[in-house]
Each structure stands twice: as C-alpha cells, then as structure tokens.
Structure 1
C-alpha cells in the first residue's frame, strides 16, 4: 500500500521572491502550498505596510507647514469618501447606481488609499457580512483587538481576493487591473505629491513646503491615519457603542466613530439593514458620506440611491438593547 506524500513547501528563497513579486502584481503565483500558513502574518509581504508607518517619522526631518496639513486633510477626506461611498456602499453593497466613468474614477481614488483594490475590498466585506463575528470572520474583535484591527489584513488569506463573491464586478477589466496592480495608483500619488511639492518650493516659496514635506504629510501620514480610522469599524464598532437592533453579530452604533469615518460608525444600523446607501438612519445621526452621495445625485453623477425602508424606521425602540 503506497503512503500519501504531503505537499512540499518550496524553499525559502522561492517563497521570498514570490512575496516580493506580489508587492507589485497580486496575481503572481504563490510559493506556499501549506494551508496552515494562511492565517499567519506574511511578514515579508507586509514590509511595505510597515514601511509606510516608519515613513511617518519623516515629519521630524521634513517639518510642517499649513500647506502640507491642508493637503493631508484634503486627501484624507477625499479618500475616506471614496472608501465609504464607493468601496463600501457601492462596490460592496450596490446601494446606488452610477456610470462606468464615475465608477472607475472613484475606484482609482479609493485605490490611492492603499487599502487594496475595489474587488478585494468588496469580496472581503461581503464575506464579513455573511460570517460577522463568527470563527469565519477574519476581523472579528472576538479574536483580539490587534487581529481585528490590522493583523488579519496582513495574513496570507487576507491578501487574497475571493472572486466567487464578486461575479458582478469581474466583468470590468479596469477594476481587475486595479486589483492586480494595487500599488500602481498609490505610487503614482506619492510621485505626484513629491513633484508638486518641489514645484511649489521653486515657484511659491512663501507656502513653506517642498517635495519631501508633501510626500510625508500628504501621502504617508494621511494614508496611515486613513487606514487606522477605517479599520476602527472592525476593531471598535463591534465593541464600543449602543445597539438599536438585536442583530446576530456584535455591531454597535458609535457617534464619534461615525464622525471619524464619515458615517460608518452607525454600524449596528448598517448590519441590521446593509442595503441602504444611508447608514445614519435618524436625522440626528450625522452621515457625511450620505450627504456627499446626495450631492452627487443632485449633480447627476449617481442615481437610484437606496433609502432606509419605512419598516426599518418603524422599528424605533422595538429592539433597543445594551444602552
């Protein structure tokens, strides 16, 4: 009787080369065949993520100016809207409709946030809604704060895009390209910021900025803050806040997270009814993304925003728990 031979892992150099290749092309074949490694952090592939955080220390050498701070704030706001309005409410939940050019424009803007491509984002988020706060949920805080906040994002399984969940989006080759080369747009933004900063240093020295300063503040600091603000919805919005609806998960409504993330903090509302383009269900629940989408609708850029159904609003007070 012939014994079964376990699959062999490739030598370490091959795994390292594959990990580096996937910094630039996520379709590069994996050198790992051991599924037991899927839930471990892929430290080599995660080096650029760590490097972005270290680059923020550049503020001590680059200095600061009002120009750099305004650029950082503007890029935070623009990219947060692209993540919440399009990566989340459009690509993940299809809560409104838009044209292909607008879809692509905001996919590019979202890609510049260094939260991977729109297909990856939508696939992981759809998986989260199916398995929220179960063992199959990769970023449930039941598995620990740091795991839910950033650890899951850096695992081998976390890097993959589950195409079985995004069949409606795979028909767009431009979205597939953004997903495959998910570092292309961030690198282009970084180069652009440096070039603009150098041009301002020569032509408008009174602004007190330069290429390195705009790169550090406008790209590295703004992007890192944006990332950690976004993932607080995984790590904190399932732990801190109140529960209007008795959902099967641990989602909470949290007003200060809602301000930080342009409306995503009304997370218990969202988990109760994820099919609405609005997450602040009550008039006093500030939802900046919803206001932005309403403005875009008025301008004819998006259409068919799905509202909160009357039956959802009629449940006010019926499921209040944990207040």
Structure 2
C-alpha cells in the first residue's frame, strides 16, 4: 500500500480490488431490500439520521480534518471521527485523505484521479476508486496522521466500522432498521458524497479563480452538509468552513463550531479577511456585469421594436 510493508499483506493487496468491487455492487444492490419492509415515516427518519451522521463523518472528519487539517482535536476524538467516517463505507481515513490531497494537487489535470471534465461523469462519480491503481496510497502523502497506529489499524480494517454499525442497527430495530438505517441510507449517502467529484466541477457558479473548474452549488451544499461550496474550498482549502459567508449554508461547520464551544475541537481555521473581501468584490463585479448585460438586452429589444414601428 505504501512504503511500509507492514500496512498490507501481499495476499490482501492482490485480492482487495476484486473483493472491493464485488462488495461495492452488493452494497449498492441492498437498497432493493426496501421492498421487503412496510413503509413508515419513522423508518424514513432512521435513514435520514443515519445519512447525516455518516455524512458528517465524511465531510468533517475524512475531508476537513484528515485531508486538510482545518481544525484540531484530541487523539481520542480523532479516532471517533475516523470511526464515524469509516462507517460510511468509503474505505479508511488515511486512504481517503491521501487520495484527496492528490486531487487538490492535480485538480482538473490529467493526473487528477476523478476530474469529470477529463474523464467523464460516471468515472469521476464512482468508477475511479474501483480501479486497482487507486487501491493503494503513499504514506508520505499523509505523514501527519499516518504516525498513529490506531488510524493505520482502522485504515487497514476499514470494514470493521460499517459492519459494527450494521449489527448495532439490527440489534436496535431489527431488519427494518438495518434496511433503512444501513442499506437505503448508505446508497444515498454514497451517491450524494460522490456528486462533489462529478457535479461540483460542472454545475454552479464561480467566485474565485481557483485555476480549475470547481464551482459553488447551493443544492449540493444542502445535500452534503456544506461541501457544495466547492469553488470556495478549492481557492482556500484549509478553511474549516466551506461556506465563507453567513448566507452559505454549511451544516458540518455549524456542528464543528458547536463542538468547539465545549472544547472538543479547537483551532478552527477560517479564511483570512483578504480572501473574504476578494470574494465580496468578485460577487459585486459579477452582479454588475449581469445587470449591465440585462440592460444591454433590454435596450436592444427596445431598439428593435422602435425600428419595426418606424417601418
């Protein structure tokens, strides 16, 4: 998997891509078990709660903490965050963060592992991580967290967290909770997360010159607890809040901010004043250009009408 031979045994390394491919499609197919359970709104809420719990694990833990170190926390809560993220069935925290750091380094170039503008929608959405090429990662990409043995253990045995979660759901609510809280929730959780790879570089608005195709998208931000402010993020990726302004909804940041009030997390990195002022200036310029364009169109229409009447 990396420079340390102790991280993955050769047999596991050879079999992991095929086993993960089979497991991936089996997990996707489990959403069909929803037809084995009578519908109820209480079960829908179980699915929603499970979705947002694990989305927080991806957005706040895997992405903002392990990938970008945008805040600090204790070693214990660090492991809790890693565990919640692993429950989402998107492999381990070190694997996820290492590949994400490479994504930022090579964003929208040929070396970008999931650029939709280079490799298409479905590849960037989910097929990229089913390739053998990306089953491994380099430890040197994530030295700040690779040093912790408990994180290396969880990264290697990342299936333990989702399996434990599935068992817990079954023990609490039986088959119905397992279906809605795990199968249904995991299906939508996965695809919602992957829209940031496949859609947020295609649809939305551009505020900053991030030298790639990243865009801000309110709907994706609502779906992913704040990740949709992707242009903001690619311009200043170390910020704990990806919605830079009060009107940009960022639920993951709100939760982290609340946790900071209790001393559970701290040193939350924010975008500097210069970046915020630049963003407001660009918004104002874009608004003025849009108004100017509308006025030009109206004048053109009026001129055409006058021309028609004069004839």
TM bucket (normalised to shorter chain) is: 0.7 to 0.9
CA separation of 1:26 and 1:173: change in aligned 2, threshold 3 A? closer
1:166 aligns with 2:147: no
Per the alignment, residue 27 of structure 1 pairs with: 8
Per the alignment, residue 200 of structure 1 pairs with: none
Per the alignment, residue 152 of structure 1 pairs with: 128
Cα separation, 2, equivalents of 1:44 and 1:108: 21
1:268 to partner: Cα distance: 0.2
1:130 aligns with 2:105: yes
1:159 to partner: Cα distance: 1.9
**Of the candidates 152, 162, 180, which is equivalent to residue 176 of structure 1?**
152
Per the alignment, residue 80 of structure 2 pairs with: 105
Per the alignment, residue 14 of structure 1 pairs with: none
**Of the candidates 70, 95, 102, which is equivalent to residue 70 of structure 2?**
95
Q: Would you say the 8 A contact 1:26–1:179 is kept in 2?
A: no
CA separation of 1:28 and 1:67: change in aligned 2, threshold 3 A? farther
Cα separation, 2, equivalents of 1:29 and 1:221: 34
CA separation of 1:306 and 1:32: change in aligned 2, threshold 3 A? closer
Cα separation, 1, equivalents of 2:196 and 2:13: 31
1:256 aligns with 2:237: no
Cα separation, 2, equivalents of 1:156 and 1:164: 20
- Could you give the per-residue CA deviations for residues 196-237 of structure 1, whole angstroms, max 9, x where no partner exists? 12xxxxxxxxxxxxx221111111110111111111000000
Structure 1: give runs of 5+ residues left out of the alignment.
1-24, 34-40, 198-210
* Secondary structure in structure 1 of the residue aligned to 2:169: helix
Q: TM-score, normalised by structure 2?
A: 0.85
Per the alignment, residue 216 of structure 1 pairs with: 179
Q: Would you say the 8 A contact 2:33–2:183 is kept in 1?
A: no
- What's the RMSD between the two structures over aligned residues? 2.1
Q: Would you say the 8 A contact 1:244–1:317 is kept in 2?
A: no
Cα separation, 2, equivalents of 1:302 and 1:84: 15
CA separation of 1:259 and 1:87: change in aligned 2, threshold 3 A? same
Structure 2: give runs of 5+ residues left out of the alignment.
1-5, 291-311
- The structure in which a higher percent of residues are helix is 2
Which structure has the greater CA radius of gyration?
2
* Secondary structure in structure 2 of the residue aligned to 1:317: helix
Cα separation, 2, equivalents of 1:157 and 1:252: 27
- Could you give the per-residue CA deviations for residues 79-105 of structure 1, whole angstroms, max 9, x where no partner exists? 111211111111110111101111111
- Could you give the per-residue CA deviations for residues 39-59 of structure 1, whole angstroms, max 9, x where no partner exists? xx9555301110011111111
Q: Would you say the 8 A contact 1:26–1:182 is kept in 2?
A: no
Cα separation, 2, equivalents of 1:85 and 1:271: 16
Q: Matches of residues 258-297 of structure 1 in structure 2 within 5 Å?
A: 258-297=221-260
